[in-house]
Amino acid sequence: MSSSQGEYFIPEPSRWPLVGSVALFVAFVGAAGMLNGSGFGTFVFGIGIAALIYMFAGWFSDVIDESLTGNYNKQVDVSFRWGMSWFILSEVMFFAAFFGALYYARVLSVPWLSGEGNGFLTNQILWSEFTAAWPLSAMPDPSGFSQFQEVIPWNDIPLLNTIILLSSGVTVTFAHWALKKNNNKGLCWWLAATVVLGFIFVYFQAGEYVHAYQELNLKLDSGIYGSTFFILTGFHGFHVTMGATMLLVILIRAMKGHFTAENHFAFEGVAWYWHFVDVVWLGLFIFVYWL
Amino acid sequence: MSEAVAHHDDLHDHKPTGIGRWLFSTNHKDIGTMYLVFALIMFFVGGAMAMIIRAELFQPGLQYVDPLFFNSMTTMHALIMIFGAVMPAGVGLANWLIPMMIGAPDMALPRMNNMSFWILPFAFAMLLSTLFMSGGAPNGGWTMYPPLVTQLNDAFPFLIFTVHFLGISSIMGAINIIATVFNMRAPGMSFMKLPLFVWTWIITAFLLIASLPVLAGAVTMLLTDKYFGTSFFDAAGGGDPVMFQHIFWFFGHPEVYILILPAFGIVSQIIPTFARKPLFGYESMVYATASIAFLSFFVWAHHMFTVGMPLAGELFFMYATMSIAVPTGVKIFNWVATMWKGSMTFETPMLFAIAFVMLFSIGGFTGLMMAITPVDFQYHDTYFIVAHFHYVLVPGAVFALFAAIYYWLPKWTGHMYDEKLGKLHFWLSVISVNVLFFPQHFIGLAGMPRRIPDYNMQFAEWNMISSLGGFVFGLSQLLFVWVVIKCIRGGEKASDQVWEGAHGLEWTLSSPPPFHSFTTPPRVTDAVAHS
C-alpha cells in the first residue's frame, strides 16, 4: 500500500498529454473529412497520425528515462500494473460488443427473420421467401450485397494461425523465464521468435482476406455474415499488429539491456496484452470459424 | 523529517506558473479545477439549448425554431449535459477529493490524468462544430438509433468520433481512479475505512471501464453500416436495427449509474456532517452501491419494452429492474436514518443534500412505475419519461454536485462562500425545478410525446408553467456562478475543518490545501477515518 522506499514519483508538467489530445483531434477531424468526401481529409488524417506517433515516442521515451534513472519505486510499478490490467479489461469489453452482435444475429435475429419465435408476421410481411442459415449466404434481400457461396473453412489457415498464435504465447513465456533468470540473450531470442510468429500470423490473415475478397467474393458488404466476420477478425488483426509492434519495441529495449529480473514491467505489460489477443483469437476461432 | 524530504516538499510546493501550469499539468487539484470549470461552461451551453427547447414549447405551434433544429437541440442538450457537464463534474470532484481523502500525494498516473481532461475541450469542439454543418447537428436523439441516425449528413462521422474520443477520455480517467484508490491509500486506510465518496467512485470507474468500450463498439458498427456496406443494423442483409438498441443500452444503463453513483457518494459525505452523526449503515451502503452497479448490467432492455421483444425478455427485464429498488431503498433509508435524531443544521450543502434525497426518490418512484412492462406501454416516449429522468438527473445528480461544491469550496479556496446567497440559490432552484419538471408528469400521462416541437392545445397550460419554471431555474444558475466567483476572490477565512461535524482526511489539511496533498502519507486511525 504505502511506500516505505522513498516517495511516490510525481512527474513534472509534461506537454505530451496535450500533444496527444491535439493529435487525436486532428486525426478524428481528418478521418471525418475523408468519410464526408472532402479533399483535405486524407492529408489532415495523416498529420494527426504522425503527431500521434510523435506523442507515443516522446511520452514513452520520457517514461523509459525515468525508469532507467531509478525514479520508479515499487508503488509506481503497482500503479502501472493496475493501469494495464484495467485497460485490458476495457479492450475485452470492446470485443464483447462484437461477439454480442454475432450472438444476437446468429441465435436470435436471423431465425426471427425467417419466422421463428414470434417472428411469423415479420417473415410474412418482409421477406416470406427467407429461410435462416449460418453462414447466411442468402440474405433476405440480396440486392446490393456481395454474394458468396463459400466461407473460409476452420481447418485451413485459421487452424494454422491458431497454432502460430498459441505457440507465440509459449515463446513469450519462455522469454519471461529467461528474463527472470537474468538471461538477456535468451530473452532476446525468445522475444524475437514471438515477434516473428506475430507477424507471420498477420501475414496469413492478410492472405486470407485477399482470398476471401478475390476468390470467394466474401466482403464487408456480404450481409451480416461478412459484417461480423470482418469486423471481428479485422479488429483482432489490428490488435495483433499493435501487440507485435509493442513486442518489437520491447525487443529493442531488451537488446539495449533495459530489463532486469526485478524490474521489467514494460515487458510484462506487453506480454499480458499478447495473451489477451491470444485469448480473443481462441474466441474467434471457435465462434467465427469453427461452430 | 529528514533534509531530503524537506527539500522535496519545497520542490513540489513550488507551483508551475503561467498558462503552462494548466496546459501541461500533472497536479490533481489543477486538473480537478479544469474539469469543474469545463463542466460548468458545458452546463450553461447545454442549458442554453434547454432554454431554446422550453421557449419553443412555451406555446403550441411553431414559434422560434424549425423542427429539425429543435430536434438537434434535444439531441445536443442530452449529449452535452451527460458527457460534458455531469460526468466531467464528477471526475473533477474525484480528482480534487480522492487523493486528499485517501492520504495520497496525487493521482496514481498524473500525466494520463491530464490527457483525460484535455481531450474534453477538443471533443466538444468537434461535437459543437456540427451545428454549422450542412444537414445540421445530430437530431435523431442522443441514443443514436439506426436507421434514423445514419441519415445524418456531414455531422455523422463527427458524432461517432466524438463518442470515441470521449470514451478514450473516460476510460483513462476511470483507470486512473481505480489505480489511485487501489494503490495510493495511506497506511491504515483499509477499504472499509474509505469515505463513501471514494467507494462510489471505485464502482463508477468500474462501470465506465466495462460499459464505454461497448458503446465504442456500437457506434463503430453504425459507422461501418453507413460507409463500408456492413449490415449489422439492416434487416435486408440479415442484421437487425433492434440489435443496436440492445448494445447501446447495455452501455446506456450502466451509464445512468455512472451519472448518479458519485452523487450518492457526495450525499453520503454531507448528511453525516450536518446531522453530526456517523453515517447509518456504512457497510450496507457499500454493498448496496455494489449491488446497484452489478444489477445495472442486467436491466438494459427496460429502455425498449415497446420494441417487440419475446415475452420472456419483457418479464426478465421487468423483474430485474424492480430488484434495483431494493439496494436503492437501503440507501434512502440509511440517509434518513442518519438524520434521525441528529442535531441538524441546514447550511446550503445540507439543503441541497436533503432536496436530493426527497426529489431523487420521486424520480426513483416514477422509475419503478415504468419498470412495470404493461404500463410502460403508456409512458414510453412521452413527457413522463422526460420528467422521470430529469428528476433523477437535475434535482438528483446536479443538486448533489451543487451540494458538493458548496461543501468543499471553503476547503479548496480557503474562504467561506456567501451563505445568504447560497441559500437563495437553493430556494430558487428547488422551487423552480419542481415547477419545471413536475407538470411534465401530467402532460406525459395525458399522452404528449417527447422530442416534438409542437403539441395539441390540451397540453398548453402545463407546458407554459413548465417553461416558466425552466426560465427561472436557468437564470438562478447565474447566481451560483456569482457565489463561486465571490468565494474564490475572498470571504470569511475558512478553518481547516470548515464544518463542525466534518470527518475525514481532507479536513486535516489546511484550507486551501498544499499543492501536493500528502507528500508523506498520514497514519490513519479510526478517529480520522469516515465518521
pTM attached to this predicted model: 0.95
Q: Does B168 touch chain A (CB under 8 A)?
A: yes
Please answer whether residues B508 and B7 qualify as being in contact, where contact means their C-beta atoms are separated by less than 8 angstroms. Answer: no
Question: Would you call B84 helix, strand, or coil by DSSP?
Answer: helix
Residue in B26, B221, B229 closest to A221 by CB: B229
Has residue B301 been placed in a domain?
A: no
Q: Which three cell numbers stand for residue B136?
A: 445540421
- Sort out which chain B residues have CB atoms less than 8 A from A11's CB and list them: 26, 110-111
Q: Which residues contact B391 (CB under 8 A, 6 or more apart)?
A: B359, B360, B362, B363, B366, B437
Question: Is the bond preceding A135 in cis, omega lying within 30 degrees of 0?
Answer: yes
**Stretches in chain A below the pLDDT threshold 50:** 1-5
Element (H, E) at B233: none
Residue B54 known to be catalytic: no
| Half-sphere exposure of residue B161: CA atoms within 13 angstroms, side-chain side | 28
Alpha-carbon torsion angle A44, A48, A50, A53, nearest 10: -170
Which pLDDT does position B530 carry in this prediction?
A: 54
Say which of B29, B54, B77, B277 is annotated catalytic: B77
The whole-angstrom distance between A126's CA and the closest CA on chain B is 9
Q: Which residues contact B260 (CB under 8 A, 6 or more apart)?
A: B360, B392, B393, B396, B397
**Number of helices (H) and strands (E), helices first, in chain B?**
18, 0
Longest dimension (CA), chain B: 78
Question: Would you call B463 helix, strand, or coil by DSSP?
Answer: helix
The whole-angstrom distance between B7's CA and the closest CA on chain A is 12
- Contact at CB, A93 and B211, closer than 8 angstroms: yes
Q: Which region, left, alpha or beta, applies to residue B447 given φ > 0 means left and ψ of -120 to 50 means alpha?
A: left
Has residue B258 been placed in a domain?
A: no
Has residue B337 been placed in a domain?
A: no
Residue B9 known to be catalytic: no
In the 3-class helix/strand/coil scheme, how is chain A assigned residue by residue?
Answer: CCCCCCCCCCCCCCCHHHHHHHHHHHHHHHHHHHHCCCCCHHHHHHHHHHHHHHHHHHHHHHHHHHHHCCCCCHHHHHHHHHHHHHHHHHHHHHHHHHHHHHHHHHHHHHHHHCCCCCCHHHHHHCCCCCCCCCCCCCCCCCCCCCCCCCCCCCCCHHHHHHHHHHHHHHHHHHHHHHHHCCCHHHHHHHHHHHHHHHHHHHHHHHHHHHHHHHHHCCCCCCHHHHHHHHHHHHHHHHHHHHHHHHHHHHHHHHHCCCCCCCCCHHHHHHHHHHHHHHHHHHHHHHHHHHC
Q: Does B56 touch chain A (CB under 8 A)?
A: no
Burial per residue of B238-252, b for 16 or more beta-carbon CB atoms within 10 angstroms, e otherwise: bbbbbbbbbbbbbbb
Please answer whether residues B244 and B232 qualify as being in contact, where contact means their C-beta atoms are separated by less than 8 angstroms. Answer: yes
Say which of B303, B411, B415, B516 is annotated catalytic: B303
Q: Does B18 touch chain A (CB under 8 A)?
A: no
Q: Which three cell numbers stand for residue B263?
A: 452523487
Q: Which three cell numbers stand for residue B174?
A: 476511470
Please answer whether residues B332 and B357 qualify as being in contact, where contact means their C-beta atoms are separated by less than 8 angstroms. Answer: yes
- Sort out which chain B residues have CB atoms less than 8 A from A230's CB and list them: 230
- Sort out which chain B residues have CB atoms less than 8 A from A100's CB and list them: 214, 246-247, 250
Q: Does B198 touch chain A (CB under 8 A)?
A: no
Identify the CATH homologous superfamily for domain A73-290.
Cytochrome c oxidase, subunit III, four-helix bundle (1.20.120.80)
Residue B390 known to be catalytic: no
Q: Which of B195, B205, B169 is nearest to B100 (CA)?
A: B195
Residue B169 known to be catalytic: yes
Which pLDDT does position B374 carry in this prediction?
A: 95
Residue in B171, B227, B235 closest to A126 by CB: B235
Residue in A24, A82, A226 closest to B179 by CB: A82
The whole-angstrom distance between A179's CA and the closest CA on chain B is 26
Please answer whether residues A29 and B126 qualify as being in contact, where contact means their C-beta atoms are separated by less than 8 angstroms. Answer: yes
Q: Which three cell numbers stand for residue A126?
A: 418482409
The count of CB pairs under 8 A between chains A and B is: 238
Task: For residues A285 and A287, give the distance between their C-alpha atoms in angstroms, rounded to a whole number.
Answer: 6
Has residue B335 been placed in a domain?
A: no
Has residue B411 been placed in a domain?
A: no
Please answer whether residues A8 and A73 qualify as being in contact, where contact means their C-beta atoms are separated by less than 8 angstroms. Answer: yes
Q: Tell me which architecture the domain covering A8-72 has in CATH.
A: Orthogonal Bundle (1.10)
Say which of B170, B382, B432, B467 is annotated catalytic: B170
Q: Which amino acid is at A117?
A: G
Residue B190 known to be catalytic: no
Has residue B177 been placed in a domain?
A: yes
Please identify among residues 204-223 of chain A the ones whose CB lies closer than 8 Å to any CB of chain B.
219-221, 223
- Contact at CB, A2 and B186, closer than 8 angstroms: yes
Residue B382 backbone phi and psi in degrees, to 5: -110, 180
| Every domain range in chain A assigned CATH 1.10.287.70 | 8-72
Please answer whether residues B88 and B42 qualify as being in contact, where contact means their C-beta atoms are separated by less than 8 angstroms. Answer: yes
Residue B8 known to be catalytic: no
User: In 10 A of CB A153, how many CB atoms?
Assistant: 11
Please identify among residues 499-518 of chain B the ones whose CB lies closer than 8 Å to any CB of chain A.
516
Alpha-carbon torsion angle A34, A37, A38, A41, nearest 10: 10
Residue in B171, B182, B242 closest to A82 by CB: B182
The whole-angstrom distance between A266's CA and the closest CA on chain B is 15
Q: Does A178 touch chain B (CB under 8 A)?
A: no
Question: Would you call B382 helix, strand, or coil by DSSP?
Answer: strand
Residue in A13, A80, A82 closest to B26 by CB: A13
- Contact at CB, A29 and B108, closer than 8 angstroms: no
Please identify among residues 64-123 of chain A the ones whose CB lies closer than 8 Å to any CB of chain B.
75, 78-80, 82-83, 86-87, 89-98, 100-101, 104-105, 108-110, 112-113, 117-118
Residue in A1, A20, A89 closest to B209 by CB: A89
Element (H, E) at B417: none
Please answer whether residues A75 and A265 qualify as being in contact, where contact means their C-beta atoms are separated by less than 8 angstroms. Answer: no
Q: What range defines the domain where residue B2 resides?
A: 1-194
Task: For residues B497 and B510, give the distance between their C-alpha atoms in angstroms, rounded to a whole number.
Answer: 8
To test the contact with chain B by mutation, choose from A3, A8, A34, A92 the residue with the greatest count of B C-beta atoms within 10 A, namely A8
Q: Which of B269, B266, B264 is nearest to B289 (CA)?
A: B264
In the 3-class helix/strand/coil scheme, how is B437-449 assigned residue by residue?
Answer: HHHHHHHHHCCCE
| Half-sphere exposure of residue B242: CA atoms within 13 angstroms, side-chain side | 18
Please answer whether residues A220 and B224 qualify as being in contact, where contact means their C-beta atoms are separated by less than 8 angstroms. Answer: yes
In the 3-class helix/strand/coil scheme, how is A200-222 assigned residue by residue?
Answer: HHHHHHHHHHHHHHHHHCCCCCC
Please answer whether residues A267 and B277 qualify as being in contact, where contact means their C-beta atoms are separated by less than 8 angstroms. Answer: no
Residue B379 known to be catalytic: no
DSSP conformational letter for B493: B
To test the contact with chain A by mutation, choose from B5, B17, B115 the residue with the greatest count of A C-beta atoms within 10 A, namely B115
Looking up residue B138, the CATH number of its domain turns out to be 1.20.210.10
Residue B302 known to be catalytic: yes
Alpha-carbon torsion angle B182, B184, B188, B192, nearest 10: -30
Q: Along the 531 residues of chain B, how does pLDDT read in single tens digits?
A: 333 343 444 444 567 888 999 999 999 999 999 999 999 999 999 999 999 999 999 999 999 999 999 999 999 999 999 999 999 999 999 999 999 999 999 999 999 999 999 999 999 999 999 999 988 999 999 999 999 999 999 999 999 999 999 999 999 999 999 999 999 999 999 999 999 999 999 999 999 999 999 999 999 999 999 999 999 999 999 999 999 999 999 999 999 999 999 999 999 999 999 999 999 999 999 999 999 999 999 999 999 999 989 999 999 999 999 999 999 999 999 999 999 999 999 999 999 999 999 999 999 999 999 999 999 999 999 999 999 999 999 999 999 999 999 999 999 999 999 999 999 999 999 999 999 999 999 999 999 999 999 999 999 999 999 999 999 999 999 999 999 999 999 999 999 999 999 999 999 999 999 988 887 888 887 655 554
Residue in A10, A21, A29 closest to B119 by CB: A21
Q: Which of B110, B172, B119, B166 is nearest to A87 (CA)?
A: B172
| Half-sphere exposure of residue B5: CA atoms within 13 angstroms, side-chain side | 10
- Sort out which chain B residues have CB atoms less than 8 A from A106's CB and list them: none
Question: Would you call B385 helix, strand, or coil by DSSP?
Answer: helix
Burial of residue B290, with CB atoms counted within 10 A of its CB: 0-12 exposed, 13-18 middle, 19 or more buried: middle
Strand partners of residue B449: B382
- Lookup result for grid cell 469453427: A290
Residue B423 known to be catalytic: no
- Contact at CB, B230 and A219, closer than 8 angstroms: no
Has residue B143 been placed in a domain?
A: yes
* C-alpha triplet B496, B500, B506: angle, nearest 5°: 40
Domains of chain B: total: 1
Has residue B125 been placed in a domain?
A: yes
- Sort out which chain A residues have CB atoms less than 8 A from B175's CB and list them: 82-83, 86-87, 90
Burial of residue B152, with CB atoms counted within 10 A of its CB: 0-12 exposed, 13-18 middle, 19 or more buried: buried
